[in-house]
């Protein structure tokens, strides 16, 4: 904590910031509030860490600090009644929780990026919610986030889509249920193509026509794009996600020629089996395909053009790609080719992968048509939430609105609480539960604090100045559970920093659960309503900051915090 760091710094010759970075939370609360490890000082001070720890502890002792050496560590305990007021004040300050890690650096985030005419898969859901959380977390830490939805709106599959539509499709059916109908056509195409190889030829031909700008092909394509987008936009609205740019792969069609020329000029293109590739033998990777045998461009070609555009036109200082782990090789290849082209900024490109998610044990395979539709998942989550809400609080106003916030929040939080690299077996029942480490549990805790605060305001004892006086003048105000909660609230900036440096929203999600649990322990152990006035105002203030923290964290994660549940 700041106060201890300020006193340790001059004893060690380290800057206060460095001391803060080194400080740890002891493994057991009984050991102290913070611990300072002395290993790093051994070299400069030319003493054993344990000796240094003894010196530092002796010098720190007093003025509200109780310090004790334990081997190479100094365990520090604060006098709660001396420090609680300062800590509350810190929590209330304008600048609390804002970091300057980024210094305005522009981070372009590639996120969501579903494919036109295909279902919005769970992988795209993960990319959307992880990307949207990172977008807000980076901004909070002093970066300037720019989000891009890199729609999969180009590629040979559109040849198949058009061929199938020409054979079996109708405008009416596609309008009525775009994704399902497109998927049916796609599945049928693959089934029938197994028996009838001319279908593949037809599809390739349509894609070639599309690439050459044929009117009919272009019209059908933009019709597919429009109907799919309408459906995706409904989903984004429910998830409360917006994009700074929606630029599909097709946007780069006229920008790939320059990339191919540049590759050629730099002597990087080689022929292989009629195709053009960049060899990556030295890097121990398979070659990166640039132009296919039939002369068409491909996914990596478009990503090269995209990265160059984002660096030069969007002025990205950093390019991050929130895309499933199965595309690791693809991004490795693309970034390596960029650096072979001599683009030094290739080092600013980063793939932020995430694990697979199975839904109630169901996998997804677009080809087979066995897919879980996100819309249905969200509907079911909201329906379950409504059931629980109506049991718990039958008089709640606008229960459907709250249920939507809780149901969608349950899905988003249920995703984000996992380390992003883990594979997740998602259970709807667990995610929507009001107990356990869930979004609804946090939302419910937040709503409960609102009602506690409303009651406290009714009885009229809430007075912030009394709370501060109280904590510094009399003892016994800060109980064990309020002290733990207060410390945890003050630790927020460290969690934010960790989440941002690791691009890991789960750090914040787990911290948020810890805060909610700490509050509930406090609320059970230290009564608010019938406490003595000074004690009560301290606890009310603590409750208020807890509610603010929960609401803020939920919103960083993209989850709503209803006032009542
Ligand atoms: N549309 C692609 C897919 O669904 C993801 C695109 C990711 N972004 C990128 N720049 N490649 O697999």
**Cα(277)–Cα(55) distance, integer angstroms:** 64
Using the mean position of ligand 1's atoms as its centre, give its distance from the Cα of residue 215 in Å.
27
- Contact between 549 and 489 under an 8 Å Cβ cutoff? The reply is yes
Q: Which structure tokens are listed for 97?
A: 């929780």
- Contact between 206 and 162 under an 8 Å Cβ cutoff? The reply is yes
Residue of the nearest CA to atom 1 in ligand 1?
152
Q: Strand 106-110's sheet: what is its strand order?
A: 245-246, 144-149, 106-110, 318-322, 349-352
Pocket test for ligand 1, best of 316, 327, 367 (most atoms within 8 A of CB): 327
How far is C-alpha 446 from the geometric centre of its chain's CA atoms?
21
pLDDT for position 362: 66
pLDDT for position 100: 92
| pLDDT, mean of each 10-residue run, the chain (565 residues) | 83 89 89 93 91 94 92 94 90 92 95 91 92 98 98 92 93 86 89 94 93 93 92 94 97 96 97 96 97 89 98 98 97 98 98 90 55 84 96 95 98 97 92 96 97 85 47 65 96 96 98 98 91 90 97 98 96
Pocket test for ligand 1, best of 152, 153, 309 (most atoms within 8 A of CB): 152
Using the mean position of ligand 1's atoms as its centre, give its distance from the Cα of residue 206 in Å.
22
Q: Which structure tokens are listed for 294?
A: 């039939």
Domains of the chain listed by start with CATH number:
2-78 (3.30.1360.70), 155-247 (no CATH), 249-354 (no CATH), 375-557 (1.10.730.10)
Using the mean position of ligand 1's atoms as its centre, give its distance from the Cα of residue 549 in Å.
34
Instruction: From 388, 385, 390, select the one nearest 405 (Cα to Cα).
Output: 385
- The ipTM of this complex is 0.99
Pocket test for ligand 1, best of 146, 323, 352, 356 (most atoms within 8 A of CB): 323
Give the single-character DSSP code of 345. G
Show the ligand 1 pocket: residues with CB < 6 angstroms: 110, 113, 115, 150, 152, 303, 306, 321, 323
pLDDT for position 370: 60
Instruction: From 549, 415, 429, select the one nearest 495 (Cα to Cα).
Output: 549
Coil, strand or helix at 352: strand
Using the mean position of ligand 1's atoms as its centre, give its distance from the Cα of residue 132 in Å.
16
**3-state DSSP percent of the chain in helix, strand and coil, to 5:** 60, 10, 30
CB atoms within 10 A of CB 476: 10
pLDDT for position 68: 94
């Amino acid at each position: 904590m700041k106060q201890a760091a300020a006193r340790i710094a001059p004893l060690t010759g380290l800057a206060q910031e460095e001391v803060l970075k080194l400080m740890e939370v002891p493994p057991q609360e009984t050991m102290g509030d913070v611990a300072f490890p002395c290993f790093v000082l051994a070299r400069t001070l030319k003493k054993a860490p344990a000796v240094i720890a003894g010196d530092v502890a002796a010098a720190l002792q007093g003025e509200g600090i109780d310090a004790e050496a334990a081997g190479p560590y100094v365990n520090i305990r604060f006098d709660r009644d001396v420090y609680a007021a300062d800590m509350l004040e810190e929590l209330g300050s304008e600048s609390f929780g804002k970091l300057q890690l980024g210094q305005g650096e522009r981070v372009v985030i590639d996120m969501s990026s579903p494919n036109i005419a295909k279902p919005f898969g769970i992988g795209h859901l993960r990319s959307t919610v992880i990307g949207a959380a990172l977008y807000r977390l980076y901004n909070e830490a002093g970066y300037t986030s720019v989000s891009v939805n890199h729609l999969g709106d180009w590629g040979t599959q559109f040849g198949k889509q058009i061929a199938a539509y020409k054979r079996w499709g109708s405008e009416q059916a596609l309008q009525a249920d775009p994704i399902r109908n497109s998927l049916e056509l796609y599945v049928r195409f693959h089934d029938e193509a197994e028996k009838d190889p001319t279908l593949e030829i037809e599809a390739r031909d349509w894609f070639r026509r599309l690439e050459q700008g044929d009117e009919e092909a272009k019209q059908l394509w933009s019709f597919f794009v429009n109907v799919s987008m309408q459906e995706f936009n409904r989903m984004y609205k429910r998830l409360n996600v917006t994009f700074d740019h929606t630029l599909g792969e097709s946007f780069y069609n006229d920008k790939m020629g320059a990339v191919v020329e540049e590759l050629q000029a730099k002597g990087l293109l080689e022929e292989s089996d009629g195709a053009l590739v960049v060899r990556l033998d030295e890097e121990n990777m398979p070659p990166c395909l640039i132009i296919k045998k039939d002369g068409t461009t491909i996914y990596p070609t478009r990503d090269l053009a995209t990265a160059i555009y984002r660096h030069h036109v969007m002025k990205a200082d950093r390019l991050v790609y929130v895309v499933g782990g199965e595309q690791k090789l693809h991004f490795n290849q693309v970034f390596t080719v960029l650096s072979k082209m001599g683009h030094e900024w290739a080092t600013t490109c980063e793939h932020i992968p995430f694990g697979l998610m199975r839904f109630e044990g169901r996998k997804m395979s677009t080809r087979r048509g066995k897919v879980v539709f996100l819309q249905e998942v969200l509907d079911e989550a909201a329906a379950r939430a409504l059931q629980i809400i109506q049991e718990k609080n039958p008089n709640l106003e606008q229960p459907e609105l709250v249920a939507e916030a809780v149901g969608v929040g349950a899905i988003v939080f249920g995703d984000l609480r996992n380390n992003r690299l883990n594979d997740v077996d998602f259970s709807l029942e667990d995610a929507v539960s009001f107990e356990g480490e869930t979004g609804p549990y946090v939302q419910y805790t937040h709503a409960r604090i609102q009602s506690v605060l409303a009651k406290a305001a009714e009885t009229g004892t809430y007075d912030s100045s009394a709370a501060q006086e109280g904590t510094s003048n009399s003892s016994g105000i800060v109980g064990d559970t309020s002290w733990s909660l207060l410390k945890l609230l003050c630790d927020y900036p460290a969690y934010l920093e960790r989440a941002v440096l690791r691009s890991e929203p789960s750090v914040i999600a787990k911290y948020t659960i810890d805060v909610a649990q700490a509050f509930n322990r406090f609320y059970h152990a230290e009564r608010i309503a019938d406490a003595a006035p000074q004690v009560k105002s301290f606890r009310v203030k603590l409750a208020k900051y807890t509610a603010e923290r929960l609401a803020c964290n939920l919103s960083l994660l993209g989850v709503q915090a209803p006032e009542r549940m």
